Amino acid sequence: MTGLCTGRVAVVTGAGRGLGRAHALALAAEGARVVVNDLGVGLDGTGGTGTPAQRVADEIRAGGGEALAHGGDIATSAGAASLVTAALDTYGRLDTLVNNAGFLRDRMLVNLDEDDWDAVLRVHLKGHFLPLRHAAAHWRAEAKAGRAPVARVVNTTSGAGLLGSVGQGNYAAAKAGITALTLVAAAELGRYGVQVNAVAPAARTRMTAQTFADTMAAPPDGGFDAMAPDNVSPLVTWLGSAACAGVTGRVFEAEGGRITVMEGWRPGPTTDKGARWSPAEAGAATLALLAAAEPVQPVYGTR
């Protein structure tokens, strides 16, 4: 390892298993001191024990690193505030926030009830906003005190949030919201020395195991495991380091050995009559524009 994050303190939410665990281990391997947050809930967000966070913190310490387990609920203001406080009280600083916590409650829209909608939006979207808000308040105070931070935020979006996913209306909406939140945060916080980016990972985790059981199996005979969560963590680690100076407001897709810069909504074909359209005229003009536009990407589950 190169010591890319030596001297930095990183917080990773949802770090007890899967992608979050891989990120925490990768950051620690590059020299970061890591606050490992996880409630230890089930795949649907029910139940809960702090044990997974403690196991990962113990694993980091066993490898010679420094880590602290945190079992607070980061979708509450008190829990998110305590996460930032834990980093500051224990290590005296906070440099990197990796927002990763989440769970699934998949349903087709006609079967998706309000509780399932609220629960998924809460953990993904609110669970990104609140740690970001409390970390940003600290970094703003540091900047105003003349101690400009070199701060990094890495949010976790999804292909479902970028393209949509059948049976995941709640999850896709939350992940799309995280993408927009990333763009706003990058624009607002840059003046305080904070860079904010998002990664849409594809990996074999508890959340993807049932959906992609056939395509995400580990390869035999020790071949390259393209779906291992560890493949996503190098990009997350670099985005969480000082080395990514100038990279902010970007969304990346990471899968196996592939990294893609995602290019989102931007103006395409346009026309201007210079006066009000009639409905029939607007329709004809729109059809002409669509004929000149790039085709839409298919929603996951419709290919």
Phi-psi category of residue 150: left, alpha or beta, with phi > 0 → left and psi -120 to 50 → alpha: beta
**Residue 175 bears catalytic tag:** yes
At residue 95, the pLDDT reads 98
From CA 75, how far away is CA 199, in angstroms rounded? 20
- Residue written as tokens 């029910």? 46
At residue 258, the pLDDT reads 95
User: Which candidate, 246, 247, 250, 270, places its Cα nearest to that of 260?
Assistant: 250
At residue 48, the pLDDT reads 57
Q: For the whole prediction, is pTM greater than 0.85?
A: yes
**Residue 165 bears catalytic tag:** no
Domain extent listing, the chain: 9-262
Q: How far is CA 80 from CA 131, 173, 197, 295, in A?
A: 5, 22, 19, 41
For 284, the enclosing helix (H) or strand (E) is: helix 279-292
**Residue 171 bears catalytic tag:** yes
At residue 50, the pLDDT reads 57
CB atoms within 10 A of CB 140: 18
Amino acid at 45: G
- Residue written as tokens 């536009």? 293
Phi-psi category of residue 138: left, alpha or beta, with phi > 0 → left and psi -120 to 50 → alpha: alpha
Which residue is catalytic, options 82, 165, 175, 300? 175
- The tokens for 254 are 């990471």
Cβ-Cβ contacts under 8 Å for 185 (sequence gap 6 or more): 132, 136, 153, 194, 196
Per the document, the length of the chain is: 303
Which residue is catalytic, options 91, 126, 158, 241? 158
At residue 15, the pLDDT reads 96
CA angle 29, 151, 12 (to 5 degrees): 50
Give me the residues of the chain with pLDDT under 50, please: 45, 212-214
- The tokens for 250 are 């970007």
DSSP states of 48-101: --SHHHHHHHHHHHHTT--EEEE---TTSHHHHHHHHHHHHHHHS---EEEE--
Which residue is catalytic, options 91, 171, 192, 300? 171
At residue 217, the pLDDT reads 59
Please tell me the CATH code under which domain 9-262 is placed.
Answer: 3.40.50.720
At residue 45, the pLDDT reads 47
